[in-house]
Structure 1
Amino acid sequence: MSKIVLLVIALVVLGGVAAAYWSYRQAVEETERAVAAIVGRAQTPLGAFQPSMVSDLPEVAQRYFNHAIKPGTPLQTTVQLQMDGKFLLGDRQEYQTYDMTAYQVLAPPSEFVWVPSMRSGLLRITGSDALVEGEGWTRFWINSLVPVVNQGASPDLNRSALTRAAMEAIWVPASLLPENGAAWEQTGPNTARVTFSTGVEPVGITLAVDGKVVEIVSMRWSNENADKVFRLQRFGGAVEAEASFGGYTIPSRVKMGNHYGTENYLPFFQVAVTEAQYL
């Protein structure tokens, strides 16, 4: 093979690598702009928490709020989270485990940007999962070059992401107050259904509460099934520990996944919240 041919091949390869990295950098910059936008939209708290504010709610809701929010805490509805843990890629039958650290900005029930870094040996997966102003995306790369998934906004993806944003309200207790569009219905001695009027469609989550949240479940629009078809299916998990940050006591260690409560359940999202800054 001539030197000229080898040079052409090398230039083509380098061009492909450069284009792939350029695409990755553009996605990173879009993610940074989205984070800044959500942070910029954080509203000034309308007041501070007092137990009398929830005295008309179902008993299980009163128990939750009086445990989760210290009296006098400003009612902030946006949070920046730092977390670490494990992420399992695959299904119940076969999966790969990655060590994970992540940053997230979250404004339930309808906006979030999650920015993880996942490692397994020399393999590193980075990117973001988001729902911002009604538009979702899921974009991840191997070692900043090879796309694993690059899905832009679509009705299916947006609907799935909306449920995630609502479920993660457990990390922003003030977002679960009726003033922020959450309606509580007690369904048992220690359970409640919370429905959000998101402005897009109602989203319901079921909480098991023993003072603190011990379990969260929802029916999520997803194609994570054997048929690879979008449909409503159980998503949820258990809370294993909690911690206090800035007057809020929130789940600090959770395991969650698709098909919760069935034989196909895989808790692919296993995280410990290490820091929470409320805005």
Structure 2
Amino acid sequence: MLLKTTLLLTLLLVTIALVVHFVGQTSWRSSIQLLQTELTGGAATPSVSVYSVQELEGLPEPVQRYFQAVLADGQRLVRNARVRHCGFFNMGQVEDNWQPFRSDQMVVTNPRGFIWDASIRMVPGIQVSVVDAYVAGRGVLAAKLFGLFTVMKQPESPQLNQGELLRFFAEAAWYPTALLPSQGVEWQAVDPSRAIATLADGGTTVSLTFTFNEQGLIESVRSEERFREINGEQFASPWEGRFWDYQEREGMLVPSAGEVAWLLPEGPKPYWRGEITDIHYDYVQ
């Protein structure tokens, strides 16, 4: 009798878990698809469709070296990109708590935006679905347990918009034609290995300091003021992304691995380490 009861309870728990998983994933996929529809719905055709080395005239020397290293003359401009990552995400606010993640990311360059759809393992068998996005000029950041129960959601704000546009801009090393002057990016020299880039989108304007290595490739990007939420309040902190292991992807040279960190008074606080497992581009025709 006890064995039968145990088996029935086990079967019930497994059934409940399967139902929660199915309902949660269905709901999550529906919300992501709505965002994707909004992201791609406003796509526009740029006036320029290919990269020309003539664009480099007047740019800071390290920026010219970068484009010469990663692009060939006549490279078609990236319209959108699909990126898959795997790696580890630091869930700890004070003590490090690195957990594995996998993610799919959709990027659109005109209008500018992206959707990062990730699954992060909290403990074995427990997954949190996370969406980090910039769509139609607004930032989105939310997490749901099993894709169903909200555990974190940042309200819309100018600070969130700024942070998500910064992410789009910083990750342009993966879709480098988005960094060209013809795409609205303004470059200002700092020194032989650094330059400041500025990008405006709607009512939000962001700037990043790009550092280039000896091969002319982007080594790091830095913002002096990206907002992070702590106990419901927004605080501006220096923020940095680093890239390495450049590989040729469809004629362009892009990094395959990276790390992102808050630069706090007590030292760097990395929270994302990942690598590209797959990347595919569509181009302006």
CA drift of 1:157 comes to 2.1
1:59-70 superposed matches below 5 A: 59-70=61-72
CA distance in 2, matches of 1:23, 1:157: 26
1:118-197 superposed matches below 5 A: 118-119=120-121, 120-197=123-200
Partner SS for 1:111: strand
Which of 227, 241, 248 is residue 244 of structure 1 equivalent to? 248
CA drift of 1:24 comes to 6.8
Instruction: Say whether 1:221 aligns with 2:226.
Output: yes
Equivalence for 2:258: 254
Contact 1:130 1:137 in 2 (8 A): yes
Partner SS for 2:72: coil
CA drift of 1:60 comes to 1.0
CA distance in 1, matches of 2:131, 2:74: 35
Residues 216 and 258 from structure 1, CA distance in 2 versus in 1: closer, same or farther, beyond 3 angstroms? same
Partner SS for 1:187: strand
CA distance in 1, matches of 2:192, 2:35: 40
- Range with bigger deviation, 17-26 or 119-128: 17-26
1:73-88 superposed matches below 5 A: 73-88=75-90
Partner SS for 2:164: helix
Q: How many residues align?
A: 262
Which of 227, 231, 249 is residue 235 of structure 2 equivalent to? 231
CA drift of 1:159 comes to 2.6
Identity rate, percent? 24
Contact 1:39 1:105 in 2 (8 A): no
CA drift of 1:193 comes to 0.4
- Alignment RMSD: 2.8
Which of 52, 55, 58 is residue 56 of structure 1 equivalent to? 58
CA drift of 1:201 comes to 2.5
Residues 276 and 19 from structure 1, CA distance in 2 versus in 1: closer, same or farther, beyond 3 angstroms? closer
For 1:100-137, what per-residue CA distance to the aligned partner results, in whole angstroms no more than 9, with x for missing partners?
11111123584110001112422211131111102222
The unaligned stretches of length 5 or more in structure 1 are 1-13
Residues 39 and 69 from structure 1, CA distance in 2 versus in 1: closer, same or farther, beyond 3 angstroms? farther
For 1:43-74, what per-residue CA distance to the aligned partner results, in whole angstroms no more than 9, with x for missing partners?
55633223233133121111011111123320
The unaligned stretches of length 5 or more in structure 2 are 1-14
CA distance in 2, matches of 1:160, 1:275: 25
Residues 275 and 18 from structure 1, CA distance in 2 versus in 1: closer, same or farther, beyond 3 angstroms? closer
CA distance in 2, matches of 1:171, 1:162: 15
CA distance in 2, matches of 1:123, 1:30: 20
CA drift of 1:204 comes to 0.2
CA distance in 1, matches of 2:169, 2:151: 26
Partner SS for 1:221: strand
- Range with bigger deviation, 137-146 or 76-85: 137-146
CA distance in 2, matches of 1:243, 1:169: 15
